[in-house]
Structures are given as C-alpha cells and as structure tokens.
Structure 1
Amino acid sequence: MKATSPGFEGWLWGRWVAGAGVLWPVMATVAGLLPSYKSGALGAALGDLRAMGGGPGFEPWLCPVRFNACGNDRKAVVFAGCAARHVSPGWSAKAAALLTGLGYAVSGDPGFACCGKTLAGAGLLEARGAMMRRNVSEWRAAGRPLVAVFCATCLEALRGYANEDLGWEPGEARLWSEGIEPLARLASRVEFAETGQVPGRIIHHAPCHGADGERELLRAATGGRAEGTGQGPCCGFGGALKLSAPGLSAQVARQCLDFYGPRPGDRILTGCSGCVFQLRSHAPEGVLAGHWLDAVDAASLRGPW
C-alpha cells in the first residue's frame, strides 16, 4: 500500500491528528490494558501509546508561594495544543491558574484547533492552512487576547503565523506576534518552594523548537539544581517520523537519553508535548519524564497567595 501511495504516512498522520479527540485517549487507554512487550515494533508502538496516557506519574513538588503580578487584568487565553486538549488537560488547568495568579483575566479556550506544525511536517499544507485560519479567527472573536503557550512546537508554529496570508486586518499580524507569549517566561515571575518528595536529580530537556525560558524557570524554582544545556540533543519524536521511520525515531531517543545519563529516581522535564511522550516512552526503568507543568502542585495553585 505504501509503494502505490507515496503519501500514505502523511495521510495517516493527518487522520491521526484530525481524530485526536477520540483516537488519542481511546488508544492510550487500550494500550495500557494490554501486556507489555520489551522489544519489537509492537512493543515500541504500545509504549508510545501508553506514554500519551500519562505513564507512571510523579508527585509534583513545586509549590507557588508568591506571584509578582504583571497581568494588570489583561485578557489572556491558553493555547493548549492537541496533547493537552485531548490527553493531558491538567497542563491547561495549571497554566490558566498561573496566569490568574499573575493578574491576567483568563478566559476559556476560545475554540483553538491544532497549531498546524505537525501537519506541515507531514506535507498536509492545505489542512495546516485551515487550522491556522481557524485559530486566527477564534483569537479575533475572543477580542485579540494574549495567548500563553506551553508547548515549544506550538509556540514556533504560532509565531510563524504573522508571515502567512491569513486574511489579517490592518495591523493585526503585529498584534498577533506581540500577543504570543511562552508560558515559561511569564511563570518566571512566580516564586516556588520545593516540598514533598523532591527528586535528587532534575534534568531539563531543551526541545529542538526552542526552550524560551524553561531552563531559567526551572533553575530558579529549584534553587539552581535543574541540569541541562541551552540546547540538548533531539529526542527523535519528529511527528510523522514515528510512522515513516519508527526505528530511527527510537534510535535517536536512546541516544538522547544516553546523553543525559539518567538514573532511577531522576526526573526529566521539558516544555514540548512531543518530547514528553517520546522521553516518557523510552525512559529507563525508574526514570520519569514529564512536562515542567507536571512538577507544579495543582493544589497550591488554588490560593490565596
């Protein structure tokens, strides 16, 4: 089938993204019920799906203790991205709570779609264009608020919108560009305290699409203990690469983890949804990976501060 349809992987990836609301949580749940396989293509595929469902979680240990408010009641929304919207809603809830603590007037998701980045990588440019136009339309209808983003891939994609012909009104592309903010940079104005089960070693994985304040945030929140370089190795996720070259994707993931050399009890944190799933799927026994928001204690976000 692949031989007669060169774009098969792209088409399949498009269906996977379009049906994310149903497919992702269902497949992650089913994979979690099946026996574990340590090797082979089936084992790797099931591991990837389980990782989307959360995998073995870790107890959050970063508690906000002070917010240096900067929002001044400015309208703000969270761009959740596909992963948070469909399988990790806790990230969006924590992001909204952090923004509220910083003094922003946070509204619910206005109806954003996929950022479109993963569709472009699969060659689905028409579908990508439709997603971009929808996102701009929903932002416009919401009153052109600040858009806080906590996925590096989504952030890079959204920043690129201003260079596309998306039916912008005069001056609107500039407003869009100025209103796209990485959540990690905003959260740098929050002071955290480490409580509970504090990991012995905290490793920050910098996504290929950019970290935008993640490392600085984590180092400040952990008293300088968070490790990691400004730009680490690629995790190997690569979107549609998971379909077209799963073996290569897994090989790059192993090389990435070898670079960090994690030991049981260590935690790997990142700010890219794809990186979370990839690292979580391939992490050695006893090593847990997650989004940096996973380390933030949700209970402590209820205030008062």
Structure 2
Amino acid sequence: MKTAQDMKSYKKLLKEALEDKFLRTALDTFNTVYRENRPTVYQGIDFESIKKEIAAGKDAALPRLMELFEEFKTNAEAAGAKVHVAKDAREANEIIAAIAKENSVKKIIKSKSMTTEETFLNDHLEKKGFIVTETDLGEWIIQLRHEGPSHMVMPAIHLSRYQVGNLFEGVTKKKIDSENIDKLVKVARQELRPAYLEADMGISGANFAIAESGALGLVTNEGNMRLVTTLPKVHVALVGYEKLVPDLKSMLQILKVLPRNATGQAITSYVTWIKGATECGSAPSNRKIMHIVFLDNGRLALTKDPVFAESLRCIRCGACANVCPIYSKVGGHKYGHVYIGAIGLILTVFYHGKENDMEIVRNCINCQTCKEICPVDIDLPHLIKKTYRAVLDQEGKTPVKNFLLSNVMKNRRLFHFILRQAYLAQKPLAKKGPMIRHLPHLFEKEHGFRSLPVIAKTPFRDQWKQIRPKVAHPKYTIGFFAGCAIDFIYPEQAKALFKLLQGHNVQVEFPKDQTCCGLPALMAAEEETAKEVARQNVKAMQPGNYDYILTLCASCGSHLKHNFLKIFDKDDAAPADLQAFTDKIIDFSSFMANILKVSPEAFEGTAKKVAYHSPCHLCRGLQVVEEPRKLIELAGFEYVRSKDEDVCCGFGGSYSVDFPEISSEILKKKLDNIEETDAQLLVTDCPGCVLQLRGGLDKRGGKLQVKHIAEILSEVSK
C-alpha cells in the first residue's frame, strides 16, 4: 500500500523497492515467465474477439445493474439468503459486524477478497473484538506481517521463502526449514486447521453474482475457500455491484479468460457455486445462515460516468500488473494503494480518494501493455491520463511542467524558438561528438544513466528547401510528419527516408506549419493543450493533398491515429478533416512492406547481424509487429531475436525525466538482453527509443550501433 503523501516521500519508497534485490528478481522473473507462458493457454481462442464480446456484455449490464440486483436479490432470498446493500465501506463493515454480533460470533475465517481489502474489513472487525484469520496462504502471510497485498491474485509475491520461514518461526516458536516450500505450506496447514474448526463465521468475496439464479460464483486455487464457506454456521459474502452478470452464459464467457489472464491456467483448481442457505451441521437449524452484502462505494455513480464507467468491467485478473514494466521493478506496495497495477491507478481516486492517488497516477510510462493484455478491453492508459486530470482538478494546483506545456506548446513559433535556443544552451556540455556524456553535477546522479543527443545545429525544417525531393510522375504523394525528435535532433533519419522513397517513385512533402504531435501534453493530462495542437496539425497537414501521412516516430503515429479521435470524442470543436487525417496516418515499416511491397532486389544485402527493439507504440499502439522484422530480412541483414523484444525500453518521453530511477532499470534489462545476441546493429522504429537505447549503450561504453530502421535500409538500398 502506497503511504507517501508527496512526490519526495514517494520517491523514497521507490528507492527502497529498487534496492530490494529479491523483489526485483522475483518480479522480473514472474513478468518474463508469465509473458512466455500465457499464449499457450490461449491457443484456439481468439482473444481479441472474446475480450470485445465480454466488454460489450459488461457495458450492456452497467445501465441495468439495479435491475440485475433486484433479480438477484429475489432469487437469492428465495433460496434462503439475506441480501443487504451498503452505500460505502463504513456501512459494509458495520453490516458485517452487526451480523457477527447478532449470531454470537467470536472467531471469523476469511478467504481472499479484494473487496474486503477495499473496505479494510479486518481492521474494523478486530477493533470490534472479533478474532479474524485469513486462510488463503498469501493473505495469511501478509496478515501476519500487518501489510496489504502486493498483487490482486498473488498477495505475497514480494516475499521470499526465507522471509516467510522467519515469519512462521515467529508464529510457531519452532525452527522452520525455509529451503523446503512444501514444508512451509505444511506449517500453514497445521496452524490454520484449528481456525476452520473453531470459526463461527466465514467471509468471502465473489467473482460473479448471477442474477437469473441468485447464485455466487467463486474461482480459487486453494481449497480454503470451500472450507470458509461451508464449515462455519454463518457465511457472509461481500460483493461489488459490478460482479453482477445476467446469466450463467455471461459468467462462463468471463471464466474463459479470468484464470488464463490471471495465472496462465486454462481453469483454476476450484470453481464453486453457492446458492442460498445450504445444509450446515454447525448451524442451529442445520441450514447455513447466509448473508450477501452488495457494496456501492461509488460504483453506481461510476456507471453513469461517460469516461470511467468502463473501469467497472474489471474482473480483477491482475494481468495489468503482470506485464507492467513499472510493477516488475517496484511491486504493488509502491504501485498502488489497495488495488494495484494500471487499474489501481484509476480506481484509487474513486474508492480511496485523490490523496492516495496523486503520486502513483503519474507513474505510468504509457507503454500500452496493460491495454493489450486486458481481457475486458479497458483502455487503461487513456483512463489513467483522465484520472490524472481529475486528480489535478480536485487538487486545484498546476505543476510547473504542466504550466510550461500549456503555455509553450500551443504557440508553435515560441516552441520551435526554444528548441533552436537549446542548441546554443547545450554547447558547454556538448564538447565533442554527437552525445552529451556528462551532465551538471546537480543532475548527473539521477539522470546520468544515459548520454543525451546533441540538438541539431540546423533543424530538419531549415534544410527542407534544399533537400526536398522532386519526383516527376510519383506513384504516391505523402505528407511527412516529422515530430520534434527528428525535426530538431535526428534530421538524418528524415534524409534516409527521402532517399529510400525517391528510389521508389514516391513524392514527399513537408508542411512546415506542423508542430509537436501533442503527446507530451496529453501524458501530462493537459488535454486542452493536446486538442489545440491537434487542430494546428490537422490544419497544417491538409490531408486531402496526400495519399498517406507518414511518420518515422511510432509514438507520434499512434497518437495521431488513435488519440486524436479520443480527445475530440463528441467534441464540437473537432477539426473538419480529423477523420480523413487519422485514416491516412501510416508508419514507415507498414508503408514500405504493405504499400510499396519492397522486394529483396531493391537492396544490396549485407551479412551484418541485426537485433530489433519493437517500440511500444508501434507493436501495441499501431499493432504493427511483423513488418519491421520482415524488412530487416528482406534487406539482407541477419535478424537475431533478443529476449523481450517488445518490452518497453524505459523512455516514455518525459517519464524518463520524471522517474529516472525506474527508467534506468528498465533500460538496463533491455540492453542486457540485446547485448546477449552479439548483434552488430540495433534498430528500431522510433526516434525516442533511439535516444534511450543509444544513450544507454554509449554510457556503458557499448560498441553496438543504434539506428532507425529507415537508416539501415537506406544504407543498403540500390
């Protein structure tokens, strides 16, 4: 659980996590293994189709949640259960405590439930004098440590067997063999068994509440849940409204993805259905005393929110954390409050207040991995930006970075003037060569993990008049969107593009009124600035003049194609040519491979070994995967695959400035993987990735060259 209330103290927590070698190793290993194994359990299943079907079903249910609730209540109470409604966490806890008191309960056992974590139910019950024991192994471990879960599915993933062994020694007062995990599990069984037999009440959550039958569905891998819900005389289930589904068919659809996404299993060890007051020998009437408490806590208001309603699709699989490069470095206690991972960055502000979300919501690198993995198609990166905006609005303060972005980026001439002046300002640092290798002492400690590129003496836009290619009878005419990095840092990448395209009978034009794509503003939650910049770019590019609008920057391309439509959703001030503009956006590799359909005969060939880094916004944002690799091989290079090619390099634009301690660690692992390939060249499709990768390799003294894919193709083109 994140406890820092300002960025300075949050940074200290991040530092603690980054210095925990076991945590780093465990999470990195899990991240890699999960990513490698997950595709196996989805064989034969069209993940993209099923997640859209589930999302549509969830969205259809949200407006009628109260109707589904009434249907569920009628059916559940007909089967002998008592259904309650709690408007918030306090009321839910009080209802459950009252049920315990009414039934003379002294001891309570629990199965894993994120909803009870949300309400801090254990704390409330213990203050009322009840003895509460978690029976899920991971939950029991963290209960003994007096901490919250670090993952929604694997709550104790942050702990080593030795830490658990030491903990168990304190509980049992006996020497524990920490090397043997089976023995540790046996200790837990021995310690927990009396709790099952002595408990008067069992508390669970639920994965599903099926309206047509009034039944609850629970998905687990440990048998403790069945003991919790059957042995004691009283069973209470705390359920969020969003767990309501119309029927068994809807539930089974979700069940296809929940275990696969959560733990890489086709099905969990236990799938349990509970309907009403079942037989129970420990109850006075031989019938279970069954209570179901539905928790609102802001959920019903969220169903009416045009932006955030889709967050209620979440089925708590935890996969957004499983694949998150930030979570894999710092863990859930530093990357969430109660709910962790990408969904936690969103839900925290609604369930636990902005004061617990102000820092963590900024800690998103926008790699899009969470969106790709989400089994219910939540656009998590988009909602995180919206959440950050909501937090800023509630706080009523404007960070310095946001102030500068808002006031500079809208003014193209001022923005470009500042970038030009950066060339002069860097001179004391850029003593020789294309890289700045030593920053002023004030910045070197945090930001010295990579060398920085020298700003170009002559921006690309100032060279355009002299280098503009002229094609007599072009096959295609494209508008070139340069982006800031190519315009002011890497104009050589644009020159390589022009050489290639001229050889393929393509006319290139560069509308000089274009400006930054606006992604930095959107990442800082300055949506109005992003809109204004978008208007300027659509007007400048005049999409009707071109067959395609091509960019060499994956981040720009994804933002132009997808985010422009999102930020202007139902906005009357959207540019008239917006749809035409976004329809014509294309990345370099797709244009070369799919439009020009270049062949090996267009290249001279070479025996150089080439490794490839897949930019986040290319492979996930634009969903371009095979084309760059195909081009590398077509051009005659020997393509060597590196480990985790499509994992983020740690750049994320200004993220690497805001959180350099995390950016540097992500970069280190990326470079280690690449250097293991013995490649002679490293290529990628994004100038931002070039900046990060080239800077990191230069800082560590690596000999590997880093180039944009357009550059290497240009070098070997005939």
Q: Same fold by TM-score, threshold 0.5 exceeded?
A: yes
CA distance in 2, matches of 1:264, 1:229: 12
Question: Is the 1:21–1:86 contact (alpha carbons within 8 Å) kept by the matching residues of 2?
Answer: yes
Q: Is the contact between residue 10 and residue 240 of structure 1 (CA under 8 Å) also seen in structure 2?
A: no
Which of residues 603, 611, 614 in structure 2 aligns to 1:206? 614
Matched, 1:287 2:704: yes
User: 8 Å contact 1:98–1:187 — kept in the other structure?
Assistant: no
What corresponds to 2:298 in structure 1? none
Aligned identity (percent) is 19
Does the CA-based 8 Å contact 1:73-1:104 persist in structure 2? Answer: yes
Change (3 A) 1:280 1:126: same
Residue 653 of structure 2 corresponds to residue 242 of structure 1: no
Gaps of 5+ in 2: 1-6, 9-394, 410-414, 457-472
- Which whole-Å CA distance do the structure 1 matches of 2:664 and 2:408 have between them? 20
Partner of 2:574: 167
In the alignment, structure 1 residue 251 sits paired with structure 2 residue 659: no
Q: Which has the larger radius of gyration?
A: 2
Asked if residue 8 in structure 1 is aligned to residue 400 in structure 2, the reply is yes
Query: How far did residue 138 of structure 1 move?
Result: 0.8
Residues of 2 paired with 1:136 and 1:224: CA distance?
Answer: 39
Distance 1:221 1:147, change over 3 A: same
Range with greater deviation from structure 2 (107-116 or 158-167): 158-167
Contact 2:642 2:676 in 1 (8 A): no
Q: Where does the alignment leave 5 or more consecutive residues of structure 1 unmatched?
A: 55-70
Distance 1:232 1:93, change over 3 A: same
DSSP 3-state at the match of 1:219? helix
Q: Aligned match of 1:194 in 597, 600, 605? A: 605
Report the 3-state secondary structure (helix = DSSP H, G, I; strand = E; otherwise coil) of the residue aligned with 1:194: coil
> How high is the TM-score relative to the length of structure 2?
0.35
What is the 5 A alignment of 1:139-154? Answer: 139-140=541-542, 143-154=545-556
- The 3 A distance-change label for structure 1 pair 151 and 262 is farther
- Kindly provide the amino acid, as one letter, of the partner of residue 178 in structure 1: D
Task: Give the one of 149, 153, 156 matched to 2:558.
Answer: 156
CA contact (8 A) 1:152 1:210 kept: yes
Residue type matched to 1:250 in 2?
S
Q: Deviations over 1:247-294 (max 9, x none)?
A: 111111101112223477732111111111111111142122221223
Shift of 1:141: 7.7
For CA contacts below 8 A with separation 6 or more, give which structure has more relative contact order: 1
Q: CA deviation at 1:11?
A: 4.2
User: 2:666 and 2:693 mapped to 1: Cα distance?
Assistant: 11
| TM-score between both structures, scaled by the size of structure 1 | 0.76
Change in 2 beyond 3 A, CA 1:37/1:83:
closer
Match of 1:62 in 2: none
Asked if 1:218 is matched to 2:632, the reply is: yes
What is the letter of the counterpart of residue 136 of structure 1?
A: V
SS state at 1:289 partner: strand
Contact between 1:13 and 1:240, CA under 8 Å: does it hold in 2?
no
Residue 143 of structure 1: how far off its partner (Å)? 2.5
Corresponding residue SS for 2:430: helix
Over 3 Å counting, the alpha-carbon distance change for 1:258 and 1:265 in structure 2 is closer
Alignment map for 1:72-221 (pairs within 5 Å): 73-140=475-542, 143-160=545-562, 161-163=564-566, 164=568, 165=571, 167-169=574-576, 172-188=577-593, 189-190=597-598, 191-195=602-606, 199=608, 201-211=609-619, 212=624, 213-221=627-635
Would the aligned equivalents of 1:152 and 1:271 in 2 still touch at CA under 8 Å? yes
SS at match of 1:33: coil
Q: Deviations over 1:21-56 (max 9, x none)?
A: 3254345554321895599841664675633559xx
> What is the SS of the residue equivalent to 2:575?
coil
Give distance in 1, aligned partners of 2:439 and 2:478. Answer: 44
Shift of 1:153: 0.2
One-letter amino acid of the counterpart of residue 290, structure 1:
K
3-state SS of paired residue (1:167): coil
Secondary structure of the structure 1 residue equivalent to 2:682: strand
What letter is aligned with 1:112? Q
Distance in 2 (alpha carbons) for counterparts of 1:218 and 1:85: 25
Change over 3 Å in CA distance of 1:168–1:185 after alignment to 2: same
Residue deviations 1:57-83 (CA, integer Å, cap 9, x gap)? xxxxxxxxxxxxxx9533212111101
Secondary structure at 2:480's aligned position in 1? strand
Contact 2:437 2:452 in 1 (8 A): no
Does the C-alpha gap of structure 1 residues 28 and 225 become closer, same or farther in structure 2, counting only changes over 3 Å? farther
Pick the structure with more helix per residue.
Answer: 2
Distance 1:113 1:72 in 2: 26
Moved over 6 A (4+): 2-6, 13-17
Cα offset for 1:146? 1.7
1:79-98 CA-to-partner distances (Å, cap 9, x unmatched) read 11101100111111222332
Q: Does 1:33 align with 2:431?
A: yes
- Residues 146 and 181 in structure 1, CA contact (< 8 A), matched pair in contact too: yes
Change (3 A) 1:264 1:228: closer
Q: For the structure 1 residues 39 and 22, does the alpha-carbon distance in structure 2 shift closer, same or farther, using more than 3 Å as the test?
A: closer
SS in 2 for 1:177: helix
